[in-house]
Chains A and B, each alone.
Chain A
Amino acid sequence: MSVPVRLKPATTDATEAAAPPRLAEWLLRRTLPHGVRGETILGDLVEEWRERGGTRAATVWYWRHALSLTAGYGRRGERPAGQAQAGDRSTHMFLDNLLHDIRYAFRSYAKAPSFALVILATLALGIGASTAIFSLVNGILLQPLPLPDPDRLVYANEINSKGDRISVSWPNYLDWRARARSFDALAISRDEPVTLTGTDRAQRLRAGRVTGNLFLVLGITPVLGRGFTDDDDQPSAAPAVVLTDAFWRGQMGADRGIIGRTLTLDSVTHTIVGVLPRAFEFPRFGFPRPHDLFVSIGPIAGSPNLTDRGNHNGFSALGRLKPRVSVETADRELQAIAAGLEREYPNTNSAISVRAERLADRLVSDIRLTLLTLLGAVGFLLLIACVNVANLLIARGAARRHELAVRAALGGGRARLATQLLVESTLVSLLGGALGIAVAAWLLRLLIAVAPDGTPRLDDVRLDGTALLFALVASAVCGIVFGALPALQASGVRGRHALVRGRAAGFAAQSHRLRRGLMVVETALALVLLTGAGLMMRTLQQLTRVETGFRVDHVLTTRFQLAGAEWTVPRRHAFYADLLSRLRALPGVTNAALAYSLPIDGSNWNSIFIVGDKPVPERAKLPSAAFSPVSAGYFETLGMRLLKGRVFNATESPDSPKVVVINETLATRLWPGEDPIGKRLKQGWPETPAAIAPWREVIGVVADVKFNGIASDTPLQAYLPFAHEPSRSVAIVMRTTVAPTALAPALEGIVRGLDKDLPLFQVRTMEQMLDTSIARQRMSLLIFVVFAIVALALASVGLYGVVAHGVTERTHEIGVRMALGAEQRHVIGLVVKQGLSMAVLGTAIGVAGELALSQWVQGLLFGVTATDPRTLAAVVAMLLAVALVACYVPAWRAARVDPTMALRAE
């Protein structure tokens, strides 16, 4: 007997550590006998796979034999070695039955493919839409902020006497910081765009001006260099800058030797002291672009502007709570401190308080309601889809009662039949769910694309495990809950009873009642969605109809900032005059002007003021207005209406008498029934010296323009001549005869020609600004309308199905009626009436539901109440009209029943 030559296994450490394909191994463990018997086979396979070098060819080999083993042992079944427990056998039987049910389900769906397709499409839509919206809600509202221990992060602002948020004054912040005990650290920061020069091309950067402890509050440690420290807050500190990872990589070439080098920001040399980690992103608060860098507050901390307690310079506070301190406690403590400051500094702090809230809540406060409403809407859509599927399944169950009866008669147990129906519905639901995930992935991409610029945390939105779990649960619940109804019903078929083919009247009536009930629910849900869409449509219509107070078309705007000591007042005047004359000379430009703030965009300078001929009210009741320096030609360029007096013109010069143009609201508020021309007002506190805030004479009144978006009320507005207030931050507005965007390159060319270190930013047309301001409403409308159309389609198909099914069931009855002399129109009337009664009942319930929900959506609406009767009436009319058509078609078919045929069918 020869001894076989045992080949020395050509294995290496690498292949020994490597493993054969996991999936194949998993499959084998499922099918091979348990214990030593199976393991020996697995071992042989592994050994040979390694001998074959663990290569791709070896893996193919492994798979081939794994499959042959699966087939071999699968056919052979569990080895009967007597070890199988009774439990195993019953599990085995259950699995066997399940497998059988699944095969049966596939076969029966294959026999009625259109039925299966309708169910799949309905579920895919419902589950897809709800998974997409859920992902949006999950990413934006539910996921914790990507910062260490985010629940301890608190955002705080000061609030004025009206309860509006205002920014935090620097001295007030210093007092909070010194007195508050709730925080481990309390920082402030503000957005402060800066111009980077000294590189190839001047750039506008998004920067944050922050206190030294900000990164401590956020729990972030720089990966290179250091963060800021409290020393950086000292007025004597050298200007320092910390770069974000994106800026360091994108603009600095990820140079690790960058620490200690300098950047020229707004003409000031800043030393780079640190680089932040890659994963870190400072909360953007509605800005579409992330930050580029952060600058220390020290260099400006000593400026009179900052140290004036009455100035709120755009800062907001971020604090990290001490462990086990609640936001409410911190909020109360800050309010108590603010009350103390109010007593200590009545001149500046009267009626000024604080509001602190979780940072995560603050970030999404604007969009929370929109998202929750959309989630509610999509929940309704999912319900409609489920109801429709249940309806279809019930109809199918009714149509199959003969088959089920035969199976029951042949010994199919009630539970066994119900299980089989459940398997069928769950199978189709899971398939629908899988399709739904594909729909969701597509929809989510679309949603992110149409989401308004600056939607918070959009980067955190993705179709993740949670969303997939949501889809899985949604589809499983659809399958089980909505499959249970027909399953319970059908399993109740008494064999003998239904075996008699014909009018199993009792069963038909029972199934029909259920379907009609579901139809009522579906109509009600559809009505709520349709009303939501109608209200959003009205809102958008109202928003686009809002009188803005100026001509929006053919206006191009942009901004720039003159930074640095070299821009003295005379130099600024000369620059502005030069710029304006060049802009006005551009072909296609009819007028051009400069302004500090732009309509729609919001005011950059809100201030209290006093008027000359009225008693000065107590400090908390001083009127406040949006102040905006504008150049001559501003009102003409925007096409604003002059109501009284005159606007600024070439006679305004730095030395001319101080004047002001006010808006209609200010005129009627301060001088009701009087002629405001010639009256005087002064920006600032009553005691502010005239050298800083001179008295100005009102020379004109212009019509109101919308200043903060178009949904909010117009504030009091005061326009000052640029000649007297040559601000450094400037917006250009140009009225054009051609498409405004076509002039953007020429505009940039002119500015670059004047100063190469002056980057323009926010180059937009006025129409784009308007669009942006209503982007959120536009998105809500889009989603609602799509949902409503789908809901209406599903409801009408459902209604049609129920009525048509009813007609089929009643063919015999209709035949008898017609044989006895009923006319076609009577038959049509009969069927339509029964169908419409469901729709009417559903509509009534839907209206009641909508009224109950109305207070929830009111916050999303503009210019229309949530109970708007016109919208409701239109929606009801539309729904009933669609229902009428859905009922009429089967009714018309019923009326063509040939009585002799119908009776012969008996």
Chain B
Amino acid sequence: MTTPAYLGEFEHLLLLAVLRLGSDAYGLDIARELDARAGRSVSRGALYTSLDRLEDKGLLRWKPSPGSLARSGMPRRLYTVTPAGLTALRAWRGTLRRMWRGLEDLLKEPTS
């Protein structure tokens, strides 16, 4: 078994967004999801090159789907997280959990 791939912070967010969106995640939805949940307005240059990088690492894969009139007939790229992607996410979550353990009191969110 190989070591799970290391994830950058933005890559982490991207994988989570794709997971949340389910089966029909494509670029525009991913950008919206990041905006809505993470408050990140992301430049398309960064978005697509990062998606490509995740694909290169084998953490994401995609299949094309035919485009609509609103897209001038251009296809969509529908993303899914690969098993390797899930493994990487789990490993990363494990790392975070271990690091968080014992700090909950110190870092708990203020209640109002």
Contact = CB atoms under 8 A, between A and B. Distances in A.
Interface of A: 1-4, 6, 9, 11, 16, 19, 36-37, 39-48, 50-51, 64-65, 67-73, 76, 79
Nearest to A15: B70
Nearest to B32: A4
A69 B21 contact: no
Given A3-B22, A4-B21, A4-B32, A72 B74 contact: no
Of all A-B residue pairs in the complex, the 9 with the closest CB atoms, nearest first, are A43-B74, A72-B45, A68-B45, A43-B71, A65-B44, A68-B43, A40-B77, A44-B27, A72-B49
Contacts of A64: 43
Nearest to B36: A4
Contacts of B44: 41, 44-45, 65, 68-69
B28 A72 contact: no
B49 A46 contact: no
Interface in B36-67: 36, 43-46, 48-49, 52, 64, 67
A37 B48 CA distance: 10
Interface residues of B, number: 29
Given A43-B71, A44-B71, A46-B74, 10 more contacts: A11-B70, A41-B27, A41-B48, A42-B74, A43-B74, A64-B43, A68-B45, A69-B48, A70-B45, A73-B48
Contact of B75 (A19, A40, A51): A40
Contacts of A71: 45
26 contacts: A1-B20, A4-B20, A4-B33, A16-B70, A36-B64, A36-B75, A39-B75, A40-B64, A42-B74, A43-B67, A43-B74, A43-B75, A43-B76, A44-B26, A44-B27, A44-B28, A44-B44, A46-B74, A50-B70, A51-B70, A65-B44, A67-B45, A69-B44, A69-B48, A72-B45, A73-B48
Contacts of A65: 43-45
Nearest to A79: B52
Given A2-B20, A40-B77, A46-B72, A73 B49 contact: yes
Interface of B: 19-22, 26-29, 32-33, 36, 43-46, 48-49, 52, 64, 67-72, 74-77
Contacts of B67: 39, 43
A39 B27 CA distance: 12
Contact of B26 (A11, A40, A50): A40
Contacts of B48: 41, 69, 72-73
Contacts of B36: 4
Contact of B29 (A4, A41, A45): A4
Most buried by B among A19, A44, A70: A44
A50 B36 CA distance: 20
A41 to B, nearest CB: 5
Nearest to B76: A40
A504 B19 CA distance: 72
Contacts of A41: 27, 44, 48
A791 B19 CA distance: 75
A453 B20 CA distance: 79
Contacts of B45: 65, 67-73
Contacts of B74: 39-40, 42-43, 46
A477 B64 CA distance: 48
B46 A72 contact: yes
Most buried by A among B28, B43, B74, B77: B74
A40 B64 CA distance: 8
A473 to B, nearest CB: 37
A599 B29 CA distance: 87
Given A36-B75, A68-B46, A9 B70 contact: yes
A190 B85 CA distance: 90
Contact of B28 (A11, A39, A47, A68): A47
B40 to A, nearest CB: 14
